[in-house]
Amino acid sequence: MKAAPYDYAKPLACDEAIALIKPTEGSGKFVAGSQSLGPMMNLRLAQPEVLVDLRGIAALRECRIENEVVTLGACITHAQIEDGGIDTGTRGFMEHVARGIAYRAVRNRGTLGGSLAHADPAADWVNSMCALDAQFLVTGPGGARAIANGDWMSGAFTTALEADEILTGVRFARLSSSARWSYYKVNRKPGEFAEAIAVFIDDAARGVCRAVIGALDAPPYAIDDARELLRDADADTSCFDAHLEAAGIEAGSYEHEVHRAALVRAAAGIRNQNGTAS
């Protein structure tokens, strides 16, 4: 199918972009790589009347690490992260995750911020940023604000972002040199949206041991203290089931099986030290 008609603008600054979207009163949308919105528009699941393309705004591609805090611009692409050209301060975690997103042709155009604003619960960055306890940096008519990780997603495809606000980037603590991470997702085919995602960030030097159960029908389920899940593999594993139940996954269901497998394998990835379960 073909997209419904819309108008298009490509401003060079956030102020200009916000001024363009304001008069559309909710019928306009910001867009970057269009790798999620594009398919939805072709299927006419989305029919914005105006698209404001953010890729011309250089400030949205700026990344830096200052005082152990990483800031990544929203318009960097998955491929840029995959190729290691950007220091993400995550000891290879984001590079690993980027390589598993969709397909290279999609990664060349799709952006970090676009994926986060789209907020598909099965998307990789939604769950990765939850694991990193990232803040979401937003600017709008009322100025800039930072949204805490826990306040970002209120449901599937639903964020705290107002229609006239732009996600400009994310901010999170740089992982220490002894940090370990693990990421496991279940896909029937490489590149598809995941059926289950599990993430561990184990950074004892910063007092962090966090896990995420993702690809739910809801926002990611964060486990703030995941140390219990990383104990001896032969130990009692009932704590896994307790978290899966708390995440809203019905015991005995197919979903429970795949989410449990992802969580157990991601935990094993940490215990095996290399942290690169995939």
Partner 1 sequence: MSDATIKTIELVVNQAPVADRVEPRTSLADFLREQRMLCGTNIGCEQGVCGACTIDVDGVPTRSCITPAISCAGSAVRTIEGFDDDATMNALRAAFTAEHALQCGYCTPGMLMTARDIVTRLPDADDARVRLELSGNLCRCTGYVGIVRAIRRVLDARRASTAIPHAAAAVTA
Site for partner 1, rule CB under 8 A: 1-8, 10, 34-35, 38-39, 41-43, 51, 53, 55, 79, 102-106, 108-109, 189-191
- Residue 34 or 115: the one with the smaller Cβ distance to partner 1 is 34
- What is the closest distance, in whole angstroms, from the C-beta atom of residue 7 to partner 1 in the complex? 5
**Measured from the CB atom, is 8 or 254 closer to partner 1?**
8
| Minimum distance of partner 1 from residue 99's CB (angstroms) | 9
The beta strands (E) that lie in 161-275 are given as 166-173, 180-186, 196-203, 208-214, 221-223
Q: In angstroms, give the least distance from the CB of 33 to partner 1.
A: 8
Backbone angles phi, psi at 40, to 5 degrees: -65, -35
By the 10 Å C-beta count (0-12 exposed, 13-18 middle, 19+ buried), 241 is classed as middle
**CA gap 73, 77 in Å, rounded:** 10
> By C-alpha distance, which of 252, 149, 156 is closest to 199?
149
Q: Are 170 and 71 in contact (CB under 8 A)?
A: yes
Q: Would you say 17 or 134 has its CB closer to partner 1?
A: 17
Closest C-alpha to 261, from 237, 234, 228, 232: 237
CB of 138 to partner 1, least distance (A): 23
| Residue (103 or 246) nearer to partner 1, CB | 103
Q: How far is the CB of 95 from partner 1 (least distance, A)?
A: 15
The whole-angstrom separation of Cα 116 and Cα 177 is: 27
Q: Indicate the residue among 190 and 207 with the shorter CB distance to partner 1.
A: 190
